């Protein structure tokens, strides 16, 4: 981060401000266990969203919707469930 020092001098002095280094405990949890758990949770969310989308598309098709309309409903269901699932995962990880 650069700081512009506007003192009494006419020349503007740009100096470098030292960064605050986080301790190891404050640093992000990047251990292999945490990363593995996060990848596993993301895979479960992707599987869940795919199943929701497939069910929505199938139910739309059974209801008599055309293939493009059923595919659109499946895509909307996938996007909605992915958004909700990722928001919930973010909330859970932030509170832990």
Residue 5 pairs in a beta bridge with 13
Top pLDDT among 53 and 33 is at: 53
Q: How confident is the model at residue 61 (pLDDT cuts 50, 70, 90)?
A: very high
Dihedral of CA atoms 80, 32, 92, 79 in degrees, nearest 10, equals 0
Q: pTM of the full predicted structure?
A: 0.66
Residue 3 pairs in a beta bridge with 15
> Residues 6 or more apart from 71 whose CB is under 8 A from it?
57
Sketch the domain layout of the chain as residue ranges: 30-96
Whether 17 has a pLDDT exceeding 90, the answer reads no
Q: What is residue 39's predicted lDDT score, i.e. its pLDDT?
A: 94
> Residues 6 or more apart from 29 whose CB is under 8 A from it?
none
């Amino acid at each position: 981060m650069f700081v512009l020092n506007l003192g009494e001098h006419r020349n503007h002095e740009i100096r470098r401000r030292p960064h605050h280094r986080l301790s190891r405990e404050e640093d992000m949890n990047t251990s292999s266990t945490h990363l593995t758990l996060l990848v596993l949770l993301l895979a479960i969310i992707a599987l869940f969203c795919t199943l929701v989308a497939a069910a929505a598309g199938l139910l739309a098709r059974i209801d008599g919707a055309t293939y493009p309309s059923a595919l659109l409903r499946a895509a909307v269901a996938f996007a909605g469930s992915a958004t909700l699932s990722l928001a919930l995962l973010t909330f859970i990880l932030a509170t832990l």
